[in-house]
Every structure is written in structure tokens, then in C-alpha cells.
Structure 1
Amino acid sequence: MSEVETVSGKPLWLKVWQFPLVAMAVALALMVATLAGTQQLFTVLPEIENAALDMIVRTVVGVGLVFVVYKLFVTRLGARKKDDLPARGSITDTLLGLLVGAAIFTAVVGVAAIVGAYRILGWGSTQDLLQIVLLTGVVAGFVEEVIIRGIVFRWLEEFGGSLLALAISAALFGFLHIQNDNATVWSSVAIALEAGILLGGAYMLTRNLWLAIGIHAGWNVTQGFVWGVPVSGNPFMGMVESGLYGPDWLSGGAFGLEASVIALVIATGAGIWMVWQARKEGHWISSMWSRK
């Protein structure tokens, strides 16, 4: 075999196939195909008469397919095979994440209430509970973390290091919400900073997805159901009926408290702490050209 056909003892085609950005592109294509296929499957599957059961079944099928494709294919891509959804720690890290996400957003609501930006107006209802838990908790928490942290962050970090991965994945995550109801450029920037850094930090700290999945789900369910705040611009009926008051920079306006400076300070601060802890524990990765 000629020198042109080999690189560092490996065939050139294998070297290209295992290159981080190529592996990332293949993994993203697999996930897009999985999500598109799931949507097509749902159009042909008969609806279950019980609406709640139908929603549960579709959630289990959709999330299950993403899980299976990730386990069977994504974990085998790239030069460094890695499974970010290990069985070990899946329950404890997810439960811890749920508590952390709930605590952070409760702190946001508490500060907003103190400064007069949030008020409880009365009791709400449980009519949206299942939708909030399944769509904003299970689906958003699991699928978005697999794609943004488990694919984008992972291979950007292997290519360009932790800082590049954190910056790009956070920006991508924030601006994926630009099409949401009541979204603005500012709300997307806010989510990029507060949630992008927080969830990226959780992934860096544990080197798996379970903590980030738990934080994501706990954050969404707590703000939507417990405190009755719009979830990334999407209004739901929560346990309480609430109102947001004051200038948009303080209350988040129609988008919700995620677009407030309160969430920006509290959640970003928590995220920076996680990144700092990850770096202290030796989980900071330099770019591939620096490693060479």
C-alpha cells in the first residue's frame, strides 16, 4: 500500500471515516433519519382512543427508537468508541439531575417573586401534567441531550477541545429555540448562555448524559407544571396560575423567565461552576492539534 493510501498506519478511508467531524455528521444524519422515520411511523399507526395512553405510547416509541439507534450505531462511530448512556449511574445521575434542575428553576422563581416579577394568582389544574412531563420532560430532555451533548458536543470536543465544543453547542442549543412561540433573539441568547453552559457543564462533569438529561427535564417540568411559567415560550396550565410583571429583561416577557436576567445569572453561574469543577477533575480536553 502506498504512502498516499495510508495515514499513521491506517488506511486513508478509515482515517477519514473516523475523523471527529465526519463521525458527528454521520451521527446527526442517523438521528435526523430516526426522527423523520418516527414521524412517518406515527402517521400510519392508529391512534389509541384514550388520548393519555396514546401520548404515552408515542413517547415511549419515539424515545425508544432514538435510544436504540444511539446504542447500536452512534456508540460505534469515530476513532474513540464511547457510550454516553451507560447503565451504571443512569438512575442516580438522572434523579440528581431532576433535583438540580428543579432547584435551579425554583431559585429563579423565588428571586423573581422577591423583586415583583412573578406572582401566583391562584390555583391552576393538572390538565397539562402529562403533556408537560412527556413532551418537555422526557422527549425534550432525552432527545435534545442525545443530539446536542451526546453528538455535537462530544465530537466537537474531540476535534477542537472543550471550549470550542461548549461555545458552539450552547449557541446551537439556544438558537434551536428561535422558532418557539414568543421567541426573540435575546431569548435564544439567554438559553444559549444559561442552559447551554449548564447542560454542557453537566456532561463534562460526569462524562455521560444522564445528569444533563435529568437537569433538562427537571428544569422544564418544574417551570411548566409546578410554577406555571411558559416553557421556552410555550404556555402550559400548571398547578398554579401565575403572572409575570415588569420589564421583559427582568420577567422574560411572553417567553417566560428563561429570557430573564434572573435565570441568566443563576443558571449561568451554576453552569460555570460545573465547568470549573469538570476542569479541576481533569475533564477539560484540548484540541486535537494541540494534543498532537
Structure 2
Amino acid sequence: MRLVWQLVAVVAVSFLGGQALVAVEDDPWLTFAVGLATAVVGVVVYRWVVRLTEHRAVVEAALRGAAPALVRGTLLGLGLFALVIVNLALLGSYTVHGLGSPSSALGLLGFMAAAAVTEELLWRGVLFRVVEGWTGTWVALAATGLLFGLAHLLNPHATLWGAIAIAIEAGGMLTAAYVATRRLWVPIGLHLGWNVAGSAIFSTEVSGNDTPQGLLDATTSGHVLVTGGTFGPEGSLYSVVFCVVTAAVFLVVAHRRGRIVPLRRAARTDVTATLPR
């Protein structure tokens, strides 16, 4: 039942926050404020429901050290997406025409903050963490990563290849970041930086969603395997390669720190609290 209560709590915040964002979508300042508020409320609710249902300190969302970890993750996400865009530009597949809309970029920052926090709380904080307690790290990583990718088939302009790419990139890389740190802050930052770069800075489609114009007025063109087509650069082979390499680095770090949970240890109710820090 702890899984059910935690899912209900986080999904409720995500739903209500999403409805509030839709209501203020025409005002970038309000969108920014509502997005940040949703992110904060999401963390507060997650900490409350986990403490209530598992009777432990919520170490994976501890506030101590959260800011630097969040910054590191965000910078990594921004850098990875920028690396994809640089490669697209070198091939002539990404062209900047001028300055876009700074106010829209601000609204996108708030929207993506809400999305990154609630999705990481749901997928890494609840689903992966609980499933890992049943099956161990590797099975949980593969299973929740696949589900994360398949969930994106519901997005506009979704493609099977795009869903597979998301399963590999986000499902693999973001989960690996959590396993390596055993904290939610780096994957939240990584998720945020990646989405903000794609929408608020480089003005591309994000997971098939047509977002408002960001800081740059730019277009992508070229083969779908290079640009990701209407799904956005997340469907680019460049994204897949860069994210797989990053995931591999995180998993090596996790192995060296003794944070990979084998199946024989997965029967423990509270895997997160018993692993080395």
C-alpha cells in the first residue's frame, strides 16, 4: 500500500499543478511562479508521504546538500543538450535566425521545473525505488526505464523510435544518476537542465511537444535520425549516444560506491536507507 499512497500523492500534485499551469499559460510570469510552486509542493508532499508510509528519514530527498547537487545536475543537463545542438549545427541541421522570446523562456523555465520535479519524484523516487526493493537495481532500471519511454507514446507527435530513445536516455541516464548518488537532486537537475535547454534556450520540440519559442528563434532540419524529427532532438542518435555514455559513467560510479543492489539484497523493505553513502 505504500506504493499506492505515494503514487496517489505525487500524481495528485502533478495533476493539480498541471491544471494550474494550463490556467495561467498565457502569462509567462504566472507560469514561472506556478511552476516553481508546484515543484516545491511536490518535494514537500513526497517527503511527507514517504515518512508517513515508511516511517524513516527521507534521505533521498534530504535538504542538506540539495542546492549544490541540483546545480551540478542542471549544468550537466544543459551541457549535454548543448552538445547535441552543437553537433546538429555543425551538420547544418540547426539554424539560429535571431533572438526569440525571453518572456516565454521564463514561463518555460517554471513549467519545466514542475515537470522535472514531479516526474523524478514519481519515476525515480517512488517507482524505481520501490521496484528496486523487490527486484534489485538492474531489473528495476530496465523495467521502469521501459515504462518511462512507453509513457511518452501518449505525447503529441510521438513515435515508437522516440519512445525507445526516451527509455534509453531518460529512463537509463536519470535512473543511473539516482543510483550513483542515492539522492533525487542530481536526476532532478539533470532532467531540468535537459528540458530547459531544449525548450527555453534552443527552442526545439521536447518529447514531441510543441513548446512556445524560447530565447532563440531557431529551426531544425535534416534526417529524422539526426534531428529527431517532430519528436525533437531527444529522438536524435546524438542524444542516445551522449546519454548512454553518461549513464555508463554514473553506473560505474555506483558500482564503485557499492550502490548497485543485487537481487539477493532486494528483499529489504528500505534499500535506500541501508546503502553506503
Task: Bin the TM-score by the shorter chain.
Answer: 0.7 to 0.9
State which drifts further: 262-271 or 167-176: 167-176
Q: 1: distance between equivalents of 2:241 and 2:219?
A: 21
Residue 204 of structure 1: CA displacement? 0.7
Would you say the 8 A contact 1:75–1:83 is kept in 2?
no
Structure 1 counterpart SS, 2:157:
coil
Q: 1: distance between equivalents of 2:35 and 2:125?
A: 20
Residue 199 of structure 1: CA displacement? 0.5
1:165 aligns with 2:140: yes
Residue 69 of structure 1: CA displacement? 1.8
1:96 aligns with 2:75: no
Which residue is equivalent to 2:273? none
Q: 1: distance between equivalents of 2:239 and 2:202?
A: 14
Give the number of the structure whose residues are more often helix, by fraction. Answer: 2
Residue 192 of structure 1: CA displacement? 0.8
Structure 1 counterpart SS, 2:218:
strand
Q: 1: distance between equivalents of 2:184 and 2:83?
A: 24
Which residue is equivalent to 2:248? 272
2:3 aligned residue (24, 32, 35): 24
1:210 aligned residue (185, 189, 193): 185
Would you say the 8 A contact 2:36–2:114 is kept in 1?
no
1:70 aligns with 2:46: yes
Q: Give, as a single letter, the amino acid of the residue that structure 1 aligns with 2:6.
A: A
The 5-angstrom pairing of residues 81-160 of structure 1 reads 82-136=58-112, 138-160=113-135
CA shift in 2, pair 1:58/1:285, >3 Å? same
Q: Give, as a single letter, the amino acid of the residue that structure 2 aligns with 1:32.
A: V
CA shift in 2, pair 1:291/1:193, >3 Å? same
CA shift in 2, pair 1:56/1:131, >3 Å? closer
Give ranges in structure 2 of 5+ residues lacking alignment.
Answer: 269-277
CA shift in 2, pair 1:181/1:83, >3 Å? same
Residue 28 of structure 1: CA displacement? 0.9
Which residue is equivalent to 1:179? 154
Structure 1 counterpart SS, 2:193:
helix
Give ranges in structure 1 of 5+ residues lacking alignment.
Answer: 1-21
Q: Deviations over 1:108-137 (max 9, x none)?
A: 11112222322223332213112210112x
Would you say the 8 A contact 2:30–2:107 is kept in 1?
no
Which residue is equivalent to 1:224? 199
Which residue is equivalent to 1:17? none
Residue 174 of structure 1: CA displacement? 1.6
Q: Give, as a single letter, the amino acid of the residue that structure 1 aligns with 2:222.
A: G
CA shift in 2, pair 1:94/1:117, >3 Å? same
Q: 2: distance between equivalents of 1:129 and 1:290?
A: 43
CA shift in 2, pair 1:272/1:245, >3 Å? same
Q: Deviations over 1:67-126 (max 9, x none)?
A: 222111223434876431111110100000111001111111111222232222333221
CA shift in 2, pair 1:59/1:245, >3 Å? closer
Identity of paired residues, percent? 29
Would you say the 8 A contact 2:198–2:204 is kept in 1?
yes
Instruction: Give the alignment's Cα RMSD to 1 decimal.
Output: 2.4
Residue 225 of structure 1: CA displacement? 2.2
Q: 1: distance between equivalents of 2:119 and 2:18?
A: 16
What is the number of equivalent residue pairs in this alignment?
265
Which residue is equivalent to 1:18? none
Structure 2 counterpart SS, 1:119:
strand
Which residue is equivalent to 1:14? none
CA shift in 2, pair 1:277/1:190, >3 Å? same
Residue 185 of structure 1: CA displacement? 1.4
Q: 2: distance between equivalents of 1:39 and 1:232?
A: 17
Would you say the 8 A contact 2:137–2:260 is kept in 1?
yes
Which residue is equivalent to 1:190? 165
CA shift in 2, pair 1:112/1:75, >3 Å? farther
Residue 36 of structure 1: CA displacement? 4.5
State which drifts further: 162-171 or 95-104: 162-171
